Structure 1
Amino acid sequence: MFKKMIELAKNQFNKMKNFDSENEFNKYNITQNNSIFSKNLDEKISSSQSRISEIRKSIRNTKL
């Protein structure tokens, strides 16, 4: 009975350790994904602003 309780406690402890490491791994992946998303978003915004600027120049030039 006592050995069974120790075994159960060890199993629970291992599950907690695995949960912590999985949690850290998931946090790392989320951080990486957020970084990639942010970089892509910044590039798209920059590209859009550039296109808008070119369109405005074109409109100004056609009015003259």
Structure 2
Amino acid sequence: MKPSLVGMLVGAVLALTWIEYGFWAFFFVALAVSIGALVGRFVEGKLDPGAVLDAVRGKRSSS
């Protein structure tokens, strides 16, 4: 599936969630989607957990 199509589908789900259930439901769905994306990238091996922790801590990387 093309990334642009996935982005459009996620955007549509988020917009409909906001319209139907309000801001907090939208926020929870957006948070769940973001966490799911991070977990998926980690499982695929495309995400270095150490780099994520360094970014959260405010440490910079030269890479």
- TM-score normalized with structure 1 length: 0.38
- Could you say which structure has the greater relative contact order, defined with CA pairs below 8 angstroms and 6 or more residues apart? 2
Greater helix fraction, Structure 1 or Structure 2: 1
- TM-score normalized with structure 2 length: 0.38
